[in-house]
Amino acid sequence: MRKRVGRSNCRKFRFRGLFSSVSRVDDDGSWILPSDEAAPAKVPARTRARRRSFFVRVLAVGCLLGSVPFAGKWGYEKVFYENEEFVLRRLNIQTDGVLSEARLAGIANVAAGMNLMELDLEMIRVQIEKLPQVERASVTRELPDRINLIVRERMPVAWLSSPTLGIRPWDMERGYLLDSDGVLFRCLDLNDGMKSLPVIESFKVIEPVEGTRIESEGVRSALKLIVESDRRFLGEGLSVSEVRVRDEWAVEAFYRNGLAVTFGVFDFTRGLEDLALIVKTAERSGHQLATVNVAAMKNIPVTFAESATRSDSSSDAPGSAIDYSSSPNALSSPVNEQEKHLRSILKGG
């Protein structure tokens, strides 16, 4: 710190004042103090070099990371899309139904010579599953030159019959098959197995659409009844040949041995259990059932098929059905004793 002495710089200050609008007070006795806003210190050269080096490294890493995806894509295309080894040469089609390999290949829209990596497997699967006969499909790629197409077709359970709509069983043009879920589809091969399927008849059905699920609650209940009945009684020789949907509350099942059973639409599981008990009891007694109404929970009506000619009545013929539930006075015959025994069992006593 020094003190200004004299006016040696008067001319400089006088010249500056010509261009300044602010008058300055010339104080010879003022002190020159150091300013708080000192000039910034210079950054050492080594520090500047380190900073430049760090910036260059960061920039290089960023460029490298940005170029990796492009380089990977370029390499992937060179290895797979432009490689002549990955060309479709074999289409392996496996199906468990009647759909032909030619039709499936045409729907998949694939042919030999196509690039294996350019094929959209998901789109092929969706196109195959649009067929009403297909339940689900699986499409996989097997390098270097193979596509595997595995198709599971719907398993038909019954034919649909609706006389009011002109839907007839065993008809490939007007008939519909039903799987266990109630999905409708056409028959592509009318073989003996298809002809032996049971028939579900309903007069109150909305016009069906192939590939959709049927809306009738009675028809869906009849499907479940066929599946469950075959599971329980097929080994015993009881196979359903036809189910008629009488109304919204009851269905009537006809078995191939001539037995007719009425079930409740919403209670056929309990009806099958009662039927199993009645069938076993009838077999032990050696009599053949003709009709059973298991829609009733108590006092189940049961009739038997007459196996011998009755000598005391000329109107009764062998093989006719006799409703013993409506004959309370005829309790002396062995058949009526069996009817009484069945009623006792079903009443729990």
| 67 Cα distance to chain centroid | 42
Bridge-partner residues for 141, per DSSP? 147
Q: Which of 147, 164, 154 is nearest to 95 (CA)?
A: 154
The single residue listed with the structure tokens 């290949």 is: 105
Q: Is the pLDDT of residue 309 over 90?
A: no
Which percentage of the chain shows pLDDT scores above 90?
45
pLDDT interval class at 341 (50, 70, 90): low
pLDDT interval class at 308 (50, 70, 90): very low
The single residue listed with the structure tokens 């065993």 is: 170
Q: Is the pLDDT of residue 1 over 80?
A: no
* Residues 178-188, mean pLDDT to the nearest whole number: 95
Q: Are 176 and 183 in contact (CB under 8 A)?
A: no
pLDDT interval class at 47 (50, 70, 90): confident
Q: Is the pLDDT of residue 126 over 60?
A: yes
Q: Are 262 and 292 in contact (CB under 8 A)?
A: yes
Q: What is the dihedral of CA 252, 257, 258, 259, to 10 degrees?
A: -50
Q: Which of 138, 240, 253 is nearest to 197 (CA)?
A: 240
Q: pLDDT (tens digit, 9 = 90+) per residue, 263-274? A: 999 888 999 999
Any idea what the Cα angle at residue 147 is, between residues 146 and 153, rounded to 5°? 145
* Residues 86-110, mean pLDDT to the nearest whole number: 89
Q: What is the dihedral of CA 223, 228, 233, 237, to 10 degrees?
A: 30
**Using CA atoms, how far apart are residues 266 and 221, in angstroms rounded to an integer?**
7
Q: pLDDT (tens digit, 9 = 90+) per residue, 128-143? A: 999 999 999 999 998 8
pLDDT interval class at 326 (50, 70, 90): very low
Q: Which of helix, strand or coil describes residue 47?
A: helix
Q: Say yes or no: domain 90-153 is CATH 3.10.20.310.
A: yes
Q: Is the pLDDT of residue 122 over 60?
A: yes
Least confident of 21-25, 118-122, 300-304: 21-25
Residue type at 267?
A: D
Q: pLDDT (tens digit, 9 = 90+) per residue, 187-230? A: 999 999 999 999 999 998 999 999 999 999 999 999 999 999 99
Measured from the Cβ of residue 217, the count of other Cβ atoms closer than 10 Å reads 13
Q: Between residues 36 and 256, which one has the greater pLDDT?
A: 256
User: C-alpha distances in angstroms, 250 versus 180, 206, 301, 341?
Assistant: 19, 19, 15, 26
**Using CA atoms, how far apart are residues 223 and 182, in angstroms rounded to an integer?**
7
Q: Are 70 and 107 in contact (CB under 8 A)?
A: no
* Residues 324-338, mean pLDDT to the nearest whole number: 42
**Using CA atoms, how far apart are residues 151 and 132, in angstroms rounded to an integer?**
12
For the chain, the structural domain boundaries read: 90-153
Q: Is the pLDDT of residue 331 over 90?
A: no
Spell out the residues 6+ positions from residue 326 whose beta carbon is closer than 8 angstroms to its own.
none
Q: Is the pLDDT of residue 95 over 70?
A: yes
Spell out the residues 6+ positions from residue 345 whose beta carbon is closer than 8 angstroms to its own.
277, 281
Q: Which of 81-90, 165-174, 325-334 holds the top average pLDDT?
A: 165-174
